[in-house]
Amino acid sequence: MRIQTVSTHAFLDQKPGTSGLRKKVKVFQQAHYLENFVQSIFDTLTIEGDATLTVGGDGRFYNKTAIQTIIKMAAANGFAKVLVGQDGILSTPAASHVIRHYETFGGIILSASHNPAGPTEDFGIKYNTANGGPAPEKVTEAIFAKSKTITQYKVADIADIDLNAIGETRLGDLTVQVINSVSDYADLMAKLFDFSAIKSLLQSGFSLKFDAMHAVTGPYAKEILVDRLGARATSLMNCDVSETFGGGHPDPNLTYAHELVDVLYANNAPDFGAASDGDGDRNMILGNAFFVTPSDSLAIIAANSRLIPAYKQGLAGVARSMPTSGAVDRVAKKLSIPCYETPTGWKFFGNLMDAGKVTLCGEESFGTGSNHVREKDGLWAVLCWLNIIAAKTKALGKWQSVEAIVKAHWAEYGRNVYSRHDYEAIPTEDANGVMAHIKSQFLTLPNQVFGRYTVNTCDDFSYTDPIDGSLSTGQGVRILFKCGSRIVFRLSGTGTEGATLRIYLEAYDPDIANHHLDAQVALAEMIEIALSVSQLKQRSGREAPTVIT
């Protein structure tokens, strides 16, 4: 096996975001661009002689091409073995499980998550460490530093691998093993949940509709929901993986998953609906004409966790990202367990899980998960809900609807009325201007009265990791009101064009008489406050959000 050392020049834009490096496909297709970043990963790590690398992705355009390059570079950089998903496919949570289950050195996951796919759309790459979780900031910063000084990379002169054929191929000192992309993950789910109870529920006439949005969870949903749990094949929609995700935007929310929403809000709608995103780590939960916010979903899973076999012994603790509502905090208080508030990014949860501090965690951006892997997990969340419904059905002798479960939770804990308004692809300069304007009012906003809301304090959220002591600053601007309500402004790091400015709005309401109100109606006054304080319309020219959830 001949090793080539290729001279290159540094690119200065390879700084990983909260979920790795994301750019347009055409950027990655530049000569040396992908290779530089992969070599920067390898140069940052200490690769042992028997190291195994996990590789896979969400199936989007350029996925297979990138995998072949990574295999050749892994061979040249001293890896003994590469585990790769069949056809190049591994959902992000499944990749995390493979890393942990086979105790590999770590993994390279190829995904731009919920972003659109295709020759003119997005691509992404990130490194996950041996715990199965995203690399911590100290590692991603080292990768970025290396990428700015790189002058050469190494690649093996070997033939492409047949990614469809399960089995091992020996290439000089490297073994490449193509593994079943689905079975290991499905086996793990069978250990966590009461598949017998869920199967009985689905065979009793309870109806569901799952939308894979032409993305990676399609094969997983077929194996688990249909083949193992007995759901009808017609319960699935858009489950064939497409390199362009069917030309859609695989973000499971009320805007982009409108096809599923239309089904669940139609006459004779199914009892339960769910969608997952491009790489399988996000989820949306729906009932018949009823939407469950991700914040409420996390809280309800935590409150009912003992109904799920994997968690029947109780939870060590829970965690949520700062922008996520405080609904789960109230559950944690009643359960007398710790609740941690972290910055956005699953790596922060990973530290807590590795230390045994938390069992469940979640983000308002449609991500929930547990310590079974070190990534958020869309299908896991769907199975949590089905297991909870199945257990309640068995106890009550009749189905309990998604809406009934949520409203019973609100009656017990109160409702954290919550919404997120996304303004996508704002020119970066304009988005930064909005954030700077808000921060300029930190000294004058406290004690100001806006209708029935009085500002208590303002800050830019920072976090000191209780496990490794690392400090993360600039994690989101908060306006906190004396009544406990709040508005959060944050620039997202998941897009590839301009900036996405997110506004998070939350008000706690213990009064059951108000729990029927639509969130936008209940939060109308707070929405106006947010727009007034930020001057978002004037500074961005945007009259309305791109997405409301």
Q: What is the pLDDT of residues 159-205, one digit of tens each?
A: 999 999 999 999 989 999 999 989 999 999 999 999 999 999 999 99
Could you tell me if 279 and 383 lie in one domain? yes
Range of the domain at 486: 415-548
Q: Parallel, antiparallel, or unpaired: how do β-strands 272-276 and 283-287 relate? A: antiparallel
Tell me if 119 sits within 8 A of 24, measured CB to CB. Answer: no
pLDDT at 493: 57
Could you tell me if 155 and 8 lie in one domain? yes
Tell me if 128 sits within 8 A of 140, measured CB to CB. Answer: no
Rounded Cα distance, 126 and 111, in Å: 8
Q: What does the mean pLDDT of the chain come to?
A: 95
Could you tell me if 213 and 109 lie in one domain? no
Rounded Cα distance, 54 and 483, in Å: 48
pLDDT at 181: 87
Confidence of residue 103 (pLDDT cuts 50, 70, 90): very high
Confidence of residue 1 (pLDDT cuts 50, 70, 90): confident
Boundary residue ending a domain (413, 434, 457):
413
Sign of the CA dihedral 13, 19, 23, 27? positive
Confidence of residue 18 (pLDDT cuts 50, 70, 90): confident
pLDDT at 538: 92
**Is there a catalytic annotation at residue 111?**
no
Buried-exposed string 334-367: b where 16+ CB fall within 10 A, e elsewhere = ebebebbbbbbbbbbbbbbbbeebbbbbbbbbbb
pLDDT at 48: 87
The pLDDT of 340-367, averaged and rounded, is 94
In three-state secondary structure terms, 109 is strand
User: Which of 33-42, 65-74, 488-497 bottoms out in mean pLDDT, i.e. has the lowest?
Assistant: 488-497
Confidence of residue 279 (pLDDT cuts 50, 70, 90): very high
Could you tell me if 397 and 447 lie in one domain? no
pLDDT digits (tens, 9 = 90+) for 207-253: 999 999 999 999 999 999 999 999 999 999 999 999 999 999 999 99
The pLDDT of 396-423, averaged and rounded, is 94
**What is the CATH number for 517?**
3.30.310.50
Boundary residue ending a domain (366, 394, 413):
413
Around Cβ 541, how many Cβ atoms within 10 Å?
10
pLDDT at 513: 92
Q: What is the 3-state secondary structure (H, E, C) of 278-345?
A: CCCCCEEEEECCEEECHHHHHHHHHHCHHHCHHHCCCCCCEEEECCCCCHHHHHHHHHCCCEEEECCC
Could you tell me if 255 and 144 lie in one domain? no
The pLDDT of 385-393, averaged and rounded, is 97
Could you tell me if 377 and 237 lie in one domain? yes
This prediction has a pTM of 0.93
Boundary residue ending a domain (385, 413, 441):
413
Could you tell me if 300 and 216 lie in one domain? yes
Q: Which residue has the higher pLDDT, 533 or 49?
A: 533
Tell me if 278 sits within 8 A of 213, measured CB to CB. Answer: yes
First to last CA, the chain: 53
pLDDT at 118 over 60: yes
pLDDT digits (tens, 9 = 90+) for 449-459: 999 999 999 99
Residue 90 corresponds to which tokens in the numbers above? Answer: 């591994």
Could you tell me if 37 and 168 lie in one domain? yes
Q: Which residues contact 136 (CB under 8 A, 6 or more apart)?
A: 129, 347, 350, 351, 468, 470
Could you tell me if 537 and 475 lie in one domain? yes
pLDDT digits (tens, 9 = 90+) for 61-83: 999 999 999 999 999 999 999 99
Could you tell me if 344 and 475 lie in one domain? no
Backbone angles phi, psi at 390, to 5 degrees: -60, -45
pLDDT at 494 over 70: no
pLDDT at 495: 52
Confidence of residue 396 (pLDDT cuts 50, 70, 90): confident
Could you tell me if 515 and 457 lie in one domain? yes
Could you tell me if 113 and 228 lie in one domain? no
The H or E element containing residue 183 is: helix 183-192
pLDDT at 137: 85
The pLDDT of 45-55, averaged and rounded, is 94
How many domains would you assign to the chain?
3
Residue 386 corresponds to which tokens in the numbers above? Answer: 């089905």
pLDDT at 496: 57
Catalytic annotation, pick one of 19, 113, 181, 235? 113
The pLDDT of 102-124, averaged and rounded, is 95
pLDDT at 345: 84
**What is the CATH number for 279?**
3.40.120.10
The pLDDT of 448-471, averaged and rounded, is 94
